[in-house]
Amino acid sequence: MKKSLLPLTLLASLSLTACSTALEYLPWVYTIDIKQGNIIDQDMINQLQPNMTKRQVLYVMGSPMISDYFHKQRWDYVYSTREAGDPKIQKRVALFFNDDNLVKIEGDYTPSSKPVAKPVTESSINVMPRKLEQTIWEKITGLLDWSSDAVPQDRSVVDESNNIPVKKF
């Protein structure tokens, strides 16, 4: 009886550790970054002005995460992110309307008159134009041109004795 009890307890303890969250914090276990909800940043909040219509707010912020049936004058935007091994970070913004005009903003972001400095990611690449004697299409159509009245191009010379075009190298 004791011999069969030992494997059973080992199996039960291994099963219970599979349900725990302790394995998430091991350094060699890969966990993905989880981002959910509406992305909210300070630049979007700075674009909101009092008395903006719902349509204008919808253009700036996107569709709300929560639009309650019983509170149609309130839109909630929620964004949560969890980077690998870090605790969950949640940002929330609630917008209040009165007669389809924006009245109040509550939450983790408040409107600011200071512009948000974003890093410049623009770069330019100068590509030198290639000088081709003929395009690919001209080369293909030149190969398929079997008419007898084909005029030799400037790279070939006509031999006067037998009127046969000769390629010049």
Q: Give the model confidence (pLDDT) of 1-38 as tens digits.
A: 666 787 888 777 777 766 766 666 667 777 788 888 88
CB 46 within 8 A of CB 57: no
pLDDT at 55 over 90: yes
Predicted confidence at residue 117, as pLDDT, reads 62
CB 102 within 8 A of CB 48: yes
Predicted confidence at residue 118, as pLDDT, reads 65
Percent of the chain having pLDDT more than 70?
A: 72
Closest CA to 42 of 118, 102, 100, 135: 118
Domains of the chain, CATH where assigned? 31-107 (3.30.1450)
* Residue in the block written with tokens 């790279």: 155
Predicted confidence at residue 153, as pLDDT, reads 55
Predicted confidence at residue 14, as pLDDT, reads 73
Average pLDDT over residues 77-94: 87
Q: Sorting pLDDT into bands at 50, 70 and 90, what band is 59?
A: very high
Predicted confidence at residue 162, as pLDDT, reads 60
> Which one of 39-43, 56-60, 80-84, 124-128 scores highest in mean pLDDT?
56-60
Q: Which residues of 114-150 are buried (b: 16+ CB within 10 A; e: fewer)?
A: eeeeeeeeeeeeeeeeeeeeeeeeeeeeeeeeeeeee
Q: Give the model confidence (pLDDT) of 122-149 as tens digits.
A: 888 888 887 767 778 888 888 877 665 5
What torsion do the CA atoms of 88, 60, 67, 36 make, to the nearest 10 degrees?
-20
Predicted confidence at residue 163, as pLDDT, reads 59
pLDDT at 97 over 90: yes
